Amino acid sequence: MNDATLPRNAPPPNMAPIDFETELGPLPLQGVLPEGLRGTLVRNGPNPVVPDPKAHWFAGDGMLHSFTLADGQVHYRNRWLRTDLWRAATEGRDLTSSFQKARVSDGPPPTHDGTGNTNVIAHAGRLLALEEAHLPIGFELPTLATLGATDFDGALSGAFTAHPKTDPRTGELLFFGYGTPAKLSNSMSFGVISREGRVTRFEHFEAPYASMVHDFMATDRHVMFPVMPLTASMERAQSGRPPYAWEPDYGTRVGLMPRDGGTADIVWWRGPSCYAFHVMNAWEADGSLFADVMQFATPPLFPKPDGSPASEITPQSWLVRWQFDLSNPSREFTQTRIADVPGEFPRIDDRFAGLPYRHGWYTCHAETTSGGPPRLYAGLAHIDHAKPGTERDMYMFPAPEVVSEGVFVPRSPDAEEGDGWLLATVWRGATNTSDLVIFDARALAKGPVCTVSLPHRVPVGFHGNWFGEEHA
């Protein structure tokens, strides 16, 4: 998320951590809190206890921020996840995350339970904070108290994705891991956790090469593992070079696996070099698999193998549709841009995950009037796939404000697709504070229906999710 208008390596506004935990409320409201919107939005992101300007942003200690909506009021709470790394930092011990740090020692790295700083989900009665190199970390609502890492009764080990997929038909949670069990290797894993919380599948396989695989795709009948040339290398790490680096000559590979088969049935498809951190959705139709992804030509925040910049400007990502025509004997997939506004952090109505869908949302960038680099994460965009090329449904915040990923909440369990609310946090540059903003999800251009004000800021983070009253 480095702002292209700033000097290289300078943090953008609101990137710095906050140094406190608090509980506040009821908070001031502007507009009307939607009737029936009862539950808690929890957002997650890196917030290092001891800031280190040399550390990669992805490595910061996880902090949860919650906004609880009930009875016309909103209450806020934030808490660090009490991980091994957090305890070490608060006690002055040296137990730092090894993410994107070169290791010159041949000894094993220190063991810990990770940061849990990337996402939050609910499954089988558990609330879980996630990152992609360690097991899930349980927490509670409304306190945000940390319950510790969970291996689902001893059935899991190694890395667990920050982006598992819940099948809306079966209630199963599908997950994968990369660089597991051997760090920085091409070894990967795939598994399934039942609606009741039992691990029913857990398999390992090898990818064509070692890569950072942040997200994956799942349809009702297939799983897709994208392996893109942000490569991983233990040899580089041990020789003092970047563990993860951009090597586009490898090309992009995507493994297609039937869900009624196993990892031995994976078929690897080829495509042009690119990188995608996040998937909007995937589905099947007319003999093809489709995946809508936020695609970069070159990944941000990572260098070439020699440590030099992978790009001289901050790369942008665009919503791109990948199509896998299963009748194509060449096993080459196509890439087609389907939106004309760049952005990141795509979301859908999760009731349609893995199925044909119509509505999606993402955080979009704004062009500058001076012709300079775009202002990143300046607004929210709604895309209606049933109306391609029609008038945009977008809301742009004034400079220099920065908005988070929007989280969709349906108006009711049986509401039609996209009928509901989009919730996000926005940093207000003029006051250095943050607000919770609530939109009608299919009418973003009309502006927020309700704004909830905090007296402090919520730092730039990664992902969040909505938890209904049953989780309180």
Cα 17 to the center of its chain, rounded Å: 19
What residue spans define the domains of the chain?
Answer: 23-471
The pLDDT > 70 percentage for the chain reads: 92
**Which residues does 364 contact at the CB level (< 8 Å), separation at least 6?**
341, 342, 343, 377, 378, 379, 380, 381, 394, 396
Spatial separation of the C-alpha atoms in residues 392 and 92, rounded to whole Å? 51
How far, CA to CA in Å, does 468 sit from each of 74, 122, 247, 319, 330?
A: 14, 10, 43, 29, 46
Q: Which helix (H) or strand (E) segment is 351 a member of?
A: none
| 23-471 CATH | 2.130.10
- How are strands ordered across the β-sheet holding 359-366? 343-348, 359-366, 375-384, 393-396
Give the tens place of pLDDT for each residue, 252-284. Answer: 999 999 999 999 999 999 999 999 999 999 999
**Which residues does 186 contact at the CB level (< 8 Å), separation at least 6?**
206, 207, 208, 209, 210, 211
pLDDT at residue 59, as a whole number:
79
- Which of helix, strand or coil describes residue 470? helix
Give the tens place of pLDDT for each residue, 354-363. Answer: 999 999 999 9
Contact call for residues 320 and 360 (beta carbons, < 8 A): no
How far, CA to CA in Å, does 289 sit from each of 217, 350, 406?
A: 10, 18, 26
- Which of helix, strand or coil describes residue 170? coil
Give the tens place of pLDDT for each residue, 67-86. Answer: 999 999 999 999 999 999 99
- Which of helix, strand or coil describes residue 236? helix
Helix, strand, coil percent values for the chain (each to nearest 5) = 5, 40, 55
Burial 12-27 (b: 16+ CB within 10 A, else e): bebbebeeeeeeeeeb
- Identify how many contiguous H helices and E strands the chain contains and give both numbers: 2, 33
Contact call for residues 46 and 60 (beta carbons, < 8 A): yes
Per-residue pLDDT for the chain (472 aa), expressed as one digit of tens each?
333 333 333 456 788 999 999 999 999 999 999 998 999 999 999 999 988 777 777 878 999 999 999 999 999 999 999 999 999 888 887 766 555 454 444 555 567 789 999 999 999 999 999 999 999 999 999 999 999 999 999 999 999 999 999 999 999 999 999 999 999 999 999 999 999 999 999 999 999 999 999 999 999 999 999 999 999 999 999 999 999 999 999 999 999 999 999 999 999 999 999 999 999 999 999 999 999 999 999 999 899 999 999 988 888 999 999 999 999 999 999 999 999 999 999 999 999 999 999 999 999 998 766 666 778 999 999 999 998 766 679 999 999 999 999 999 999 999 999 999 999 999 999 999 999 999 999 999 999 999 999 999 999 999 999 999 888 7
Of the candidates 243, 249, 208, 246, the residue with the CA atom closest to the CA atom of residue 227: 208
**Which residues does 413 contact at the CB level (< 8 Å), separation at least 6?**
none
pLDDT at residue 3, as a whole number:
34
pLDDT at residue 93, as a whole number:
77
Structure tokens at 212: 């950072």
E strands along 411-472, which residues?
Answer: 420-428, 433-440, 450-453, 464-468
Cα 278 to the center of its chain, rounded Å: 6
Of the candidates 374, 381, 418, 437, the residue with the CA atom closest to the CA atom of residue 400: 374
